[in-house]
Amino acid sequence: MQYTHLGRTGLQVSRLGLGTMNFGELTDETASLEIMDKALDAGINFFDTADVYGGPQSPDMEKGYGISEEIIGRWLAQGGRRDRIVLATKLYQPMGTGPNDRRLSAYHIRRACEDSLRRLQTDHIDLYQMHHVDRSTPWDEIWQAMEQLVREGKVTYIGSSNFAGWDIATAQSVAASRNFLGLASEQSLYNLSARTIELEVIPALRYYGIGLIPWSPIGMGLLGGALRKATESRRASALLQMRIEQHRSQLEQYEALCKQLGEEPSDVALAWLLHNSAVTAPIIGPRNVEQLTGSLRALEVSLSDETLRRLDEIWPGPGGAAPEAYAW
d(CA 163, CA 134) in angstroms, rounded, equals 9
d(CA 236, CA 224) in angstroms, rounded, equals 12
Residue 53 a catalytic site member: yes
Active-site option among 3, 53, 65, 326? 53
Instruction: Give, as one character, the DSSP assignment of residue 300.
Output: G
Q: Annotated active-site positions, please?
A: 53
